[in-house]
């Protein structure tokens, strides 16, 4: 039926899927390591203009001050993650972050805010024992993305814009090895089969499968979905982070859920319900608004569902007591964004709601960003394990850039010593046909997408219950069937309905992994809260692993490896373990 499909082929040493922080830093690091290698970056949107890193307001956690240390940052990260972090990944994050920030400034030209003595300014973020968040006003992500993208342009990197990945391609004689990816040019509808020695997933997770979300809307868990189909191993997919302060417009605008960053609470902002009460006194009287995101988000959600929220289903954040000049100087971007929506951030309260923000779970990697599939790497939000049950604000962009660098270096080393293996032509044909099957007559993807968002918000959201999650699984099974049969009329060139059909297929697939994992974890920990299992277990801590075998999802618990520090040990009892590897 589709035998005459447009297809062109490419060969490259390194293929990077995504151009957020992880993809950009990976490309730069790979080129720096070995300029002779061909590096190709494919981005679903526009280069330097899409993805979530660009949207980062708050900043970058890094231990720079003499009175701080990477050990302190490590302990904060483990405590924030409720002790189920992969400790080797967490240690890699905190120990490499200082050097990464230095390279962002000296190599890429990023210029972060300064103290009067010329040192880098660091501000307060919640859940941390030290004010260690480096920033550029409240537009940190734009600074990083712009400067690194400029460096790639200067080096003449091969960039494919408006090009999405639709499948990973197995090697012809080694089906476990990834030998590149099948891409789709969104503008023309042309397929591009890219043969690569190493392939990096850096598409960003982005829980846009929830009714209210803070993510770049082009994200649709594409990287996770294609990795799942290829047989990658995932960990802790139940851990979805909700940010407590997404702007609430109440009029159905897509901007609902866009963040007001954590620095507002770090600077002393107050959260209030409709009655004007600072409700965090009920949930964390010691840390109040500076509690971790899981605690603060659940608190706001509880206020709303128990009837103490606003008529439109929100609560308020108020920073007016900090002074108008202070707020306007330090949070210029948010002041302007709020003004566009009719709010005066510096002068009074702004209505907010919890919003789906980040996925701590993802493809399991080792400290070199390798997955269980040879030739496939993952970094940024596509990769799981670093943050455990809850990510600290400011650790996200650090995670993307640190592990992006590591992935680039590791791929450059592998590609320099490896042959280019051909991909399986039959697998390519199957992937091409499955993608084209979404063209034609059938149900529109849009109602399926809306029902998915409602299902995930109501059944697998901030507060969960085993029976409700099980109900959600049944609904997801039906949505998966409908998504498989969804079609988009029209041609292949710039057919946004076709793209949304492909999006919803991926989103439903990943939503199932979240729901399955939420059922498996029969306790409450970090961002995963079950009101039928409200206790957090002190013994036998475990990670939830899930992998596709045939058509089945195989799920198992694995004990947490306390490779450097046990939760009951003194913080000074850090050990130096052997390097970890993917099994």
Long-range contacts of 30-36 (CB under 8 A, 24+ apart): 30/408, 30/409, 30/411, 30/412, 30/415, 31/152, 31/155, 31/157, 31/408, 32/408, 33/408, 33/409, 33/412, 33/413, 34/412, 34/415, 34/416, 35/155
Q: Is 361 helix (H, G, I), strand (E, B) or coil?
A: coil
* CA–CA gap between residue 76 and residue 92 (Å, rounded): 14
Question: For 451, what's the count of Cα atoms within 13 Å in the CB-facing half-sphere?
Answer: 18
Contact 191/184 with Cβ under 8 angstroms? Answer: yes
* CA–CA gap between residue 448 and residue 423 (Å, rounded): 34
* CA–CA gap between residue 165 and residue 169 (Å, rounded): 11
Which residue in 210, 140, 191 sits closest to 464, CA to CA?
210
* CA–CA gap between residue 583 and residue 512 (Å, rounded): 24
- Buried b or exposed e, range 149-177, using 16+ CB within 10 angstroms: bebbeeeebebbbbbbbbbbbbbeeeeeb
* CA–CA gap between residue 365 and residue 579 (Å, rounded): 13
Contact 349/309 with Cβ under 8 angstroms? Answer: no
Which residue in 33, 43, 38 sits closest to 12, CA to CA?
38
Residue with tokens 């024992």: 129
Which residue in 205, 158, 202, 161 sits closest to 183, CA to CA?
161
Paired tokens of 384: 């799981």
Q: Is 326 helix (H, G, I), strand (E, B) or coil?
A: helix
Which residue in 418, 382, 385 sits closest to 581, CA to CA?
385
* CA–CA gap between residue 54 and residue 380 (Å, rounded): 13
Sign for the CA dihedral angle at 2, 3, 8, 10 comes to positive
For the chain, the straight-line distance linking the first and the last C-alpha, in angstroms and rounded, comes to: 41
Contact 134/60 with Cβ under 8 angstroms? Answer: yes
265 is annotated as an active-site residue: yes
177 is annotated as an active-site residue: no
Question: For 59, what's the count of Cα atoms within 13 Å in the CB-facing half-sphere?
Answer: 27
Tally of CB atoms within 10 A around 484: 14
Q: Which of 103, 243, 290, 464 is catalytic?
A: 243
* CA–CA gap between residue 216 and residue 381 (Å, rounded): 13
Q: Which of 265, 370, 387, 528 is catalytic?
A: 265
Contact 75/87 with Cβ under 8 angstroms? Answer: no
Strands across the sheet with 133-134, in order?
A: 60-61, 133-134, 122-123
Which residue in 276, 258, 259, 278 sits closest to 268, CA to CA?
278
Backbone angles phi, psi at 380, to 5 degrees: 75, -145
**Alpha-carbon distances of 551 from 227, 313, 402, 501, 556, rounded to whole Å:** 14, 40, 35, 21, 16
| Residues marked as catalytic | 243, 265
């Amino acid at each position: 039926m589709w035998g005459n499909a447009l297809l062109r082929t490419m060969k490259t040493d390194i293929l990077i899927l995504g151009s957020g922080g992880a993809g950009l830093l990976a490309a730069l690091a790979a080129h720096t390591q070995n300029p002779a290698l061909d590096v190709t970056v494919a981005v679903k949107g526009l280069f330097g203009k899409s993805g979530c890193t660009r949207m980062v307001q708050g900043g970058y956690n890094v231990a720079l001050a003499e009175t701080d240390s990477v050990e302190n940052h490590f302990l904060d990260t483990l405590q924030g993650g409720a002790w189920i972090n992969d400790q080797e990944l967490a240690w890699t994050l905190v120990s490499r972050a200082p050097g990464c920030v230095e390279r962002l400034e000296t190599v890429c030209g990023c210029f972060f805010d300064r103290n009067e003595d010329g040192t880098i300014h660091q501000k307060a973020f919640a859940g941390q024992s030290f004010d260690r968040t480096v920033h550029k006003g409240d537009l940190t992500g734009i600074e990083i993305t712009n400067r690194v993208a400029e460096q790639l342009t200067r080096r003449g990197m091969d960039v494919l814009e408006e090009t999405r990945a639709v499948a990973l391609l197995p090697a012809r004689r080694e089906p476990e090895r990834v030998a590149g990816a099948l891409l789709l040019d969104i503008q023309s509808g042309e397929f591009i089969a890219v043969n690569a020695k190493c392939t990096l997933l850096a598409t960003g997770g982005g829980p846009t499968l929830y009714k209210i979300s803070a993510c770049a809307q082009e994200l649709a868990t594409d990287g996770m979905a294609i990795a799942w189909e290829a047989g990658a191993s995932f960990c802790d997919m139940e851990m979805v982070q909700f940010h407590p302060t997404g702007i609430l417009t109440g009029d159905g605008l897509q901007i609902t859920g866009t963040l007001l960053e954590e620095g507002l609470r770090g600077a002393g902002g107050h959260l209030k319900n409709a009655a004007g009460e600072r409700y965090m006194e009920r949930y964390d009287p010691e840390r109040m608004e500076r509690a971790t995101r899981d605690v603060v988000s659940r608190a706001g959600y509880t206020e709303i569902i128990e009837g103490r929220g606003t008529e439109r289903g929100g609560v308020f954040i108020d920073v007016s007591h900090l002074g108008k000049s202070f707020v306007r100087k330090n949070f210029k971007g948010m002041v302007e964004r709020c003004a566009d929506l009719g709010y005066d951030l510096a002068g009074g309260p702004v209505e907010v709601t919890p919003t789906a923000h980040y996925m701590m779970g993802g493809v399991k990697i080792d400290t070199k960003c390798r997955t269980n599939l040879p030739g496939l790497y993952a970094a940024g939000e596509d990769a799981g394990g670093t943050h455990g049950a809850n990510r600290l604000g400011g650790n996200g962009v650090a995670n993307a850039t640190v592990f992006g660098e590591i992935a680039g270096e590791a791929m450059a080393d592998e590609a320099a010593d490896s042959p280019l293996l051909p991909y399986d032509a039959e697998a390519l044909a199957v992937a091409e046909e499955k993608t084209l099957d979404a063209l034609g007559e059938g149900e529109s993807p849009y109602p399926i997408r809306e029902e998915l968002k409602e299902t995930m918000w109501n059944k697998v959201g901030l507060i969960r219950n085993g029976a409700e999650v099980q109900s959600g699984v049944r609904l997801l099974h039906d949505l998966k069937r409908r998504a498989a049969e969804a079609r988009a009329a029209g041609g292949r060139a710039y057919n946004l309905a076709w793209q949304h059909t492909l999006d919803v297929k991926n989103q439903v697939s990943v939503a199932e992994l979240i729901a399955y994992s939420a059922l498996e974890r029969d306790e409450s920990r970090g961002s995963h809260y079950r009101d039928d299992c409200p206790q957090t277990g002190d013994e036998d801590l475990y990670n939830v692993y899930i992998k596709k075998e045939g058509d089945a999802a195989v799920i198992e618990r694995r004990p947490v490896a306390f490779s450097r520090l046990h939760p009951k040990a003194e913080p000074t009892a850090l050990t130096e373990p052997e390097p970890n590897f993917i099994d």
